[in-house]
Structure 1
Amino acid sequence: MNIIITGASSGVGFEAVLDLILTNKHKVIALARSQDRLTRLLEIAQGLNPECTLYPIKFDIVYDDYAGLQQFVRTHLDGKVDVLINNAGALVNKPFMELGEQDFVEMLQSNFLGHVRITQSILPFMSAGGHIVNIGTMGAFQGSSRFPGLSAYAASKAALHALTESLAQELTEQKISVNCLALGSAQTEMLEKAFPGFESPVMAFEVGKYIADFALTGQKFFSGKVIPVALTTP
């Protein structure tokens, strides 16, 4: 399969890439804003599988020009994408009364509008059987627990959850599935920022493997679903 994943420089995105390259069945474009971390990702990936096909590309899904990425897909993936994993994101942890409008703007850009942009850019390369996987959060899942300081983050992720459900309906005739994994805690830098001192019972590599497996097979069973993936609260 030809796979694009954003937010690949750390956390569960980093680990999902490492799981996807273990076999030679996939070509993976890994996008992130940190060149140093992408270089490290490639080094580790080649150590695990020297014959893997991994293209680490420094790219900002909010601000960068998509024409170059589209041309890269035409050249290196023969103009075909099977899976898009929208994993990139950011977090602001502040009490509501301390949040400025710019905080909400940044959350919406990083956690929602950036995914809108890349999805619109990559959809022309996807065909029947394709799978778009959005990475959401239990902090925005209906009926789940809410936490002080995360209102801007949760609101932006809730928008991504709603987009998942709507877009799946729109792409039904094209037979492209769209799902969202509402993740609970995993031991990552973002978790530490959200809940300082909390230790998750689930490691980032475990969630990364879950994301990778779901991206490859989940479209056979689901579309338009926001699926809770959580062992504990948070």
Structure 2
Amino acid sequence: MSKTIVITGTSRGIGFELVKLFASEGHTVFALSRNEKPVKQLGLENVHALSCDLSESLSVEAAIKYIQSHTQTLDILINNAGQFLKQEFKDTVMEDVKKVYETNVFSVFDVTHRLLPLMNSKTHVVTISSMGGVQGSMKFPGLAAYSSSKAAVITLTELLAEEYKENGPSFNVLALGAVQTEMLEEAFPGLQAPNSALEMANYIKDFSEKGQQFYNGKLLQVSSSTP
């Protein structure tokens, strides 16, 4: 049965692979990214590539209006967009920190809130976090803004699941370990991750379709490394 899916952060990496995977099964996908060209160039049927700057309210509003004009229901929302920042705390530039939070936290609030009217009891909202945002996990210097923003959406997920537990939708969050993406290469040049973007996208796709049967308001740590 064909589903309707919204995915943010689709110009590269995991988001880009997710679009292709869902489209290959005939699902309708709304792909939101500042750079919509990579998805557009795929020429995939039933995929709507939307240019959307998640840090700009008017840009988000335009994208949501487009989605609302093309569907009455939403089966899956994957809050995948993320902005990385590696900056020693002593060199903190607050404008940089705010940009990270605008993409990694505030856009999750904004997009999820605006799409609520399209959701029902079976809708699954999956937010992509990071192991760096998990309490007690290994932390790295210079990632105060990034990792704390990823921690914020973990708690947000728990709160939303509690608020909507009676009639849905379901909310879960995946804290990913190292994945071989452009973002990882920018953050840690030369580091070889155990999983490719496509492998992780396959896992996320499967979880977004079935995970709400078993989980709600849960953080799942998707990492093969210890700690």
* Other-structure match for 2:40: 39
Aligned counterpart for 1:2 among listed residues 4, 26, 29: 4
Deviations along 1:36-59, one digit per CA (max 9) or x if unpaired, are 22323x33xx3xxxxx41111111
* Other-structure match for 2:101: 108
- Within 5 A, what are the aligned runs for 1:170-181? 170-181=163-174
CA distance in 2, matches of 1:71, 1:96: 39
Answer yes or no: is the 8 Å Cα contact 1:27–1:53 preserved in 2: yes
* Other-structure match for 1:71: 65
What is the DSSP-based 3-state SS (H/G/I as helix, E as strand, rest coil) of the residue aligned with 1:134?
A: strand
Unaligned residue ranges in structure 1 (runs of 5+): 47-51
What is the DSSP-based 3-state SS (H/G/I as helix, E as strand, rest coil) of the residue aligned with 1:180?
A: strand
Q: Please, which moves more after superposition, 160-169 or 94-103?
A: 94-103
Q: CA deviation at 1:64?
A: 4.2
Q: Does 1:62 align with 2:62?
A: no
CA distance in 1, matches of 2:129, 2:51: 23
CA distance in 2, matches of 1:86, 1:61: 11
CA distance in 2, matches of 1:53, 1:130: 19
CA distance in 1, matches of 2:199, 2:100: 26
CA distance in 2, matches of 1:157, 1:166: 15
Q: Does 1:222 align with 2:223?
A: no
CA distance in 2, matches of 1:225, 1:214: 12
Q: Does 1:13 align with 2:28?
A: no
Answer yes or no: is the 8 Å Cα contact 2:55–2:99 preserved in 1: no
* Other-structure match for 1:139: 132
CA distance in 1, matches of 2:226, 2:199: 17
RMSD: 1.5
Q: Please, which moves more after superposition, 60-69 or 93-102?
A: 60-69
Deviations along 1:44-99, one digit per CA (max 9) or x if unpaired, are xx3xxxxx41111111122042443333223322x211111000010011111111
CA distance in 2, matches of 1:63, 1:192: 27
- Counterpart residue identity of residue 231, structure 1: S
What is the DSSP-based 3-state SS (H/G/I as helix, E as strand, rest coil) of the residue aligned with 2:53?
A: coil
Answer yes or no: is the 8 Å Cα contact 1:127–1:176 preserved in 2: yes
Identical amino acids, percent of aligned pairs? 39
Q: CA deviation at 1:233?
A: 5.9
Highest RCO, 1 vs 2 (Cα 8 Å, sep ≥ 6)? 1
Deviations along 1:186-209, one digit per CA (max 9) or x if unpaired, are 110111122111011211100011
CA distance in 2, matches of 1:22, 1:95: 42
With structure 1 as the length reference, what TM-score do the two structures score?
0.91
Unaligned residue ranges in structure 2 (runs of 5+): none
With structure 2 as the length reference, what TM-score do the two structures score?
0.94
Answer yes or no: is the 8 Å Cα contact 2:54–2:102 preserved in 1: no
- Counterpart residue identity of residue 143, structure 2: L
Answer yes or no: is the 8 Å Cα contact 1:38–1:57 preserved in 2: no
CA distance in 2, matches of 1:73, 1:103: 30
Q: Give the number of aligned pairs.
A: 224
* Other-structure match for 1:157: 150
Q: CA deviation at 1:151?
A: 1.1
Answer yes or no: is the 8 Å Cα contact 1:93–1:193 preserved in 2: no
Moved over 4 A (4+): none
